[in-house]
């Protein structure tokens, strides 16, 4: 007999009494299934006559009693779970069902299974009250001109300079050889190396000592590698470089004209006006992103307070697991060991994430409902594009990145994050346009 007790709209308990006679019937089915292929002394494999099969089934029951009982109970519990879900009238449950009570009695087994479902949530237009006013400043001509100058410098050409000595902003073409403790450094030398003075691309203090050198001049430069330098074997060590200045080059900014616009935009029909409009749009988007970023948390906090909904406890526990793992990664080995050997301390450690985990889960369901109302969704193609782009930016193989997301069941999480981002942007865009 199966009964369902709803704790709330997101949490239910399925209670079932599994009679021994029903269990015995399942044991017989499992034993017959095993008997077909099991290699039992005195019995051949394959089809047997009824009496021979009956004897083989009895033998199987003796040999595999524990396994048979375990599988029969598992089947019975699954049937009870399926019946309970049917009684709940839901198409799916969230997360894994949890057996919270299992009593094996003389005549029956009593079992309670906790299941989690999508909570009831009624959303009208009240969520729009959570969207704050958005004030956008206009893009000024000065801002556009500064961007134009930056593009001009980025597209600069170089020419050999007749300057007497190298200055900040110039390119010093140098030969150099480095030594540590009197020994030549591995990969510490170069010839005709173009070093832009003031770029900060060399070890701190190096460029400052090159500044003022004259063409043909040689100089010994002493520097100290930073403590956090990538190559640990030389981090924090003093080094001496023999440097010769071969040539001084000046950077000549590109002229701001239609040719620059065509080159920069990759468009043969472009002109300066089109480049300015492109810059204006980019600046507007940057400003918008900056303004929106400060408003998004405000919207989310408001939504959490505005709606009261039931949350599936199992999903909350999973969220706590994620938060605990993230926090544990910051702990020292000694702190982790202390938590492992002290159950009470570990319980306290988990407990401090409970409220935030509840809010996160609650917000997920709220965002999902509002997104449906606003017709906001993320396609599989968009999802793949985001993973592909992130992988390329981090120097990873895009296919391996997608595989990682799939194998670790991270695609739903990423999709929900993207939906949230698109939804908040849409709500703020609508507010900004009013």
pLDDT digits over 167-222, tens only?
Answer: 999 999 999 999 999 899 988 899 999 999 999 999 999 999 999 999 999 999 99
CATH class of 269-432: mainly alpha
DSSP assignment letter at 182: T
What residue segments make up the domains of the chain, in order of their start? 2-116, 157-252, 269-432
In the predicted structure, residue 108 carries a pLDDT above the cut 60: yes
- The CATH number that domain 157-252 falls under is 3.10.50.40
Q: Say what the pTM is.
A: 0.72
In the predicted structure, residue 163 carries a pLDDT above the cut 60: yes
Q: How confident is the model at residue 49 (pLDDT cuts 50, 70, 90)?
A: low
DSSP 97-118: EEEEEEEE-SSEEEEEEEEE-P
Q: How confident is the model at residue 107 (pLDDT cuts 50, 70, 90)?
A: confident
Q: What angle do CA 247, 251, 256 make, to 5 degrees?
A: 160
pLDDT at 262: 94
The whole-angstrom separation of Cα 428 and Cα 128 is: 10
Q: What angle do CA 79, 83, 88 make, to 5 degrees?
A: 145
pLDDT at 23: 83
5: three-class secondary structure by DSSP: strand
- Asked if 376 and 419 touch (Cβ cutoff 8 Å), the reply is yes
* Percent over 70 (pLDDT), the chain: 93
Q: For domain 2-116, give its CATH number from 3.40.50.1010, 3.30.70.1050, 3.40.50.11540, 3.40.80.10.
A: 3.30.70.1050
């Amino acid at each position: 007999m199966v009964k369902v007790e709803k704790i709330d709209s997101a949490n239910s308990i399925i209670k079932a009494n599994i009679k021994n006679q029903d269990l015995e019937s399942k044991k017989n089915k499992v034993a017959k299934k095993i008997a077909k292929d099991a290699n039992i002394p005195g019995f051949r494999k394959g089809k047997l006559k009824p009496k021979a099969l009956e004897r083989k089934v009895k033998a199987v029951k003796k040999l595999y009693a524990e396994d048979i009982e375990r599988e029969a109970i598992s089947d019975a519990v699954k049937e009870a779970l399926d019946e309970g879900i049917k009684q709940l009238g839901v198409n799916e449950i969230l997360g894994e069902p949890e057996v919270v009570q299992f009593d094996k009695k003389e005549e029956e087994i009593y079992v309670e299974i906790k299941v989690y479902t999508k909570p009831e949530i009624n959303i009208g237009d009240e969520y729009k009250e959570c969207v704050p006013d958005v004030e956008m400043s206009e893009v000024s001509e000065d801002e556009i001109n500064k961007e134009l100058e930056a593009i001009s410098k980025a597209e600069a050409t170089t020419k050999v300079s007749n300057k007497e000595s190298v200055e900040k902003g110039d390119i010093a073409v140098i030969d150099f050889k480095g030594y540590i403790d009197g020994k030549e450094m591995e990969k510490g030398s170069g010839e005709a190396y173009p070093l832009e003075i003031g770029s900060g691309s060399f070890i701190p203090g190096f460029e400052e000592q090159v500044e003022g050198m004259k063409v043909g001049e040689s100089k010994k430069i002493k520097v100290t590698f930073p403590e956090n330098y990538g190559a640990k074997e030389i981090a924090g060590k003093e080094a001496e470089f023999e440097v010769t200045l071969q040539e001084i080059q000046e950077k000549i900014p590109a002229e701001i004209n239609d040719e620059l616009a065509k080159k920069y935009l990759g468009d043969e029909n472009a002109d300066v006006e089109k480049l300015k409009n492109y810059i204006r749009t980019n600046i507007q988007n940057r400003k918008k992103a900056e303004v929106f970023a400060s408003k998004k948390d405000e919207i989310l906090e408001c939504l959490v307070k505005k709606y009261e909904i039931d949350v599936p406890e199992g999903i909350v526990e999973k969220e706590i697991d994620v938060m605990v793992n993230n926090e544990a990664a910051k702990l020292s080995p000694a702190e982790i060991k202390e938590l492992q050997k002290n159950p009470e301390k570990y319980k306290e450690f988990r407990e401090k994430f409970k409220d935030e985990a509840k809010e996160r889960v609650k917000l997920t369901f709220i965002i999902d409902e509002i997104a449906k109302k606003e017709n906001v969704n993320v396609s599989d193609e968009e999802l793949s594009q985001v993973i592909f782009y992130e992988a390329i930016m981090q120097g990873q193989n895009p296919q391996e990145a997608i595989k990682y997301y799939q194998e670790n069941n991270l695609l739903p999480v990423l999709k929900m994050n993207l939906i949230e981002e698109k939804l908040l942007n849409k709500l703020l865009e609508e507010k900004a346009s009013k």
